[in-house]
Structures are given as C-alpha cells and as structure tokens.
Amino acid sequence: MEIRMDFLDWLDHDTSMKILRCLEDPADLVRVSSVSRSWRHFVIAYGLCKQLCLRMFPHFLRVECVTEPCCDIEKASEVGCSKFVEWETLKREHKVYAFLVQGCMSFPFGKCILDAISASSTDNYPDESIRNTLQQGDPIEIRASYWSSKGQRNAAVPETLVYKLVADICVITEINIQPFQAYFQPGSPIYSARSVRFHMGHPILPMVDPLGEPFDDSADDKFIWTYSSPEFPMAQESSLQNFRLPEPVVCIGGILQIELLGRVQRQEIDGLFYICVAQVQVKGRPLSPAFGVETLGPSGKFILKAESSNPPSLPDEDSSYHGGHLHGRVDWEQIVNVLRGEGDFEYDWNSEDEVDDELAF
C-alpha cells in the first residue's frame, strides 16, 4: 500500500516556512494554497503571499492596510469575534497581495505618462513648453517641438521636469529621453544634459488640477520623493536614449521627476548654456484600475485599495513589448488556471469562499 504523507503535518513550523519561502513565483503559492484545506490555511495564516510580494517589491512595505470593494469589516463588527476579524483580514491580504504581485509582473507593459505638471524653467512659454516632450516631434515641421530651459552662464545649474503618470501605482522599468537638436541654428547643436537622475513619489497635498496648464517650478516643496535612481550619463546625441532602472520600481503616488544635471551646449547667439528635450517616454506596468491608493499624510504610509480584478488595457503596440496580458475577471480559487493560460474566469469580489472559514488559531 502506498504511504502518503503531508509534510506540513510532520515538519515543525519553521522548517515548513523555509520550504515554502523557497517558492519565488506567485503562481506556485497559489497552486500550493489550492492543494488542500490545511495547505490553504497555512498559506493564508502565515501571510506567504504578502511576504513574497514584499520581498519582490519592498516599496509595498509602506502599506498600512488593504481594502476591497466589499469589505467584511461591518459583518465582522456585528459578529464581534476577534478571531473572525483576524481571519477575514488574513484572507483579504492573501487575495490582494497574490493578485498584486501577479499584476506587478504580468499586467500590460506600455507608456506610463499621462501629462506634464511642471518644469523648473521654460525659455519661451508656451512655444517651448514641457508639454512638447509628450509627443514625438517631426523634424520636417515648420516649427520644431521641444522643451527648452532658460539660459544659464553656469553650466552646472540643473533642471527638472515633473510628470503625472497614468496610474497612482505603476511599476516603472525604464525612461527614454531624446535631447533636442536645433537644426535651425548654425552647426545644428544638440542641447543635452551631462547626466540624468529620476525621482518618484506622491503629492504632499491632493492636487487640485493635476492636468492643468504646466507651470515653472522646481516642485520639490509639493512632492515627497520615495525613490531616487542612480545618476546616468547622457550622450550628446539626438536619439531616444534608454535609461533602464537597476530593478523595477513601484511608483506609489503617480509622480515622476526627471532631474537633468549639467549643461554641455552653449547657444552661439547669447553665449548661455541650455538644456532642451524633444521627447520623454516612461515605460512600465500601470496597476490601475485593479488597484488604487490613499496616501495617509506626509508619513508616506498608504491604504492599498483592490478596486477590481481587471488588468488595465493598453494599445497593442504597447502591451506587446513584454509578454501578454491576462484577460477577463479572475475567480480567485481558479487563478492558477489563468496563470497556466488555460482560460478566462468570472471573478466576483463578493463571492463566498468555497472553503469553510474555520478559525484554527
């Protein structure tokens, strides 16, 4: 007779945890939680999906709590059982973090800039506005499209460009910048920066009109930067230059600042140094509408809101860059089938769990 043994029943807690923490694919944890009731209980009770998400994306350490469209908090308060409340919280975190880490890795990849917010200076507004960097310019147009800083005698004076991203949570992997070549000036000079650095974060206060007319402002007093990249050298070339971040960065708050460091080109007509940019692209994975955030003041903590189970849709030319997307609404107990690519499933945030809600603590 074949002897079957459940190692969770035979091994101590610490050994079981070490084994399951070796799983580095969120799909594997979802598969583990679907093996049996006891395995599912172990994965949920010890927050393995949450632990995996925080190891892969430590930016989510600032999450204060998670919510779903229909939370059971009211139901829990009526029951008045602390174990029930704790178990419902653990189940909610299991679902949300499992979908979150999956989304960070497999939601559609594409352009992530929604609009321009501000530039530290603009030479001829609005003709040389930061908004010009959002569209690819055409060199045969009568009027070139680009942003230009004001001129400076000191080549070390930096400039900053601030953009609003398409979602409050985006996983950013790369930024592309094209310096502007003034083909209408003698020698066709290229007004690049010497180097570039990127900052991501969130507004200190709610933005009244984030899509209003861009303004000249360094903006450092309006935003909290939670991430700063290394400094990247920029070539004095009129090409779309790729700056890939050392690792994917979760931008929580939807604000990106490009810091342009050092000037290399002096304008012949006035002898001043300028920086000019023709185009900016930000590439990554927006997590909206599936997820939203509510920032809790200047502390940097925030509430993570699971709004729906629908990944965002992007144009085909964007989403085809890195893998495919997940379509449809995903039933949580059947998410393993979606991860295996075996079909689409209907997911209802209000559906009852198929497994009994035992309170085995």
Share of the chain above pLDDT 90, in %: 48
For the record, the structure tokens of 121 come out as 């200076």
| Rounded Cα–Cα distance for residues 116 and 153 (Å) | 27
**pLDDT tens digit sequence for 261-279:** 999 999 999 999 999 999 9
Whether the predicted pLDDT of 25 surpasses 80? no
- Amino acid identity, residue 83? K
As a whole number, mean pLDDT of residues 347-359 equals 40
Task: Determine the pLDDT at residue 325.
Answer: 35
**pLDDT tens digit sequence for 219-277:** 668 899 999 999 999 999 999 999 999 999 999 999 999 999 999 999 999 999 999 99
The better pLDDT of the pair 238, 208 is held by 238
Whether the predicted pLDDT of 29 surpasses 70? yes
Whether the predicted pLDDT of 121 surpasses 70? yes
As a whole number, mean pLDDT of residues 313-340 equals 41
Task: Determine the pLDDT at residue 177.
Answer: 98
Task: Determine the pLDDT at residue 276.
Answer: 98
Q: What is the 3-state secondary structure (H, E, C) of the chain?
A: CCCCCCHHHHCCHHHHHHHHCCCCCHHHHHHHHCCCHHHHHHHHHCCHHHHHHHHHCHHHHHEEEEECCCCCHHHHHHHCCHHHHHHHHHHHHHHHHHHHHHHHHHCCCEECEEEEEEECCCCCCCCCCHHHHHCCCCCCCCCCCCEECCCECCCCCCEEEEEEECCCEEEEEEEEEEECECCCCCCCCECCEEEEEEEEEEECCCCCCCCCCCEECCCCCCEEEEEECCCEECCCCCCCEEEEEEEEEEEECCEEEEEEEEECEECCCCCCEECEEEEEEEEEEECCCCEEEEECHHHCCEEEEECCCCCCCCCHHHHCCCCCCCCCCCCHHHHHHHHCCCCCCCCCCCCCCCCCCCCCC
Kindly indicate the confidence band of residue 209, based on its pLDDT and cuts at 50, 70 and 90: low
- Average model confidence (pLDDT) across the chain: 80
As a whole number, mean pLDDT of residues 69-76 equals 55
The better pLDDT of the pair 70, 41 is held by 41
- The pTM (predicted TM-score) of the whole model is 0.80
Kindly indicate the confidence band of residue 5, based on its pLDDT and cuts at 50, 70 and 90: low
Task: Determine the pLDDT at residue 17.
Answer: 81
- Amino acid identity, residue 239? S
Task: Determine the pLDDT at residue 354.
Answer: 42
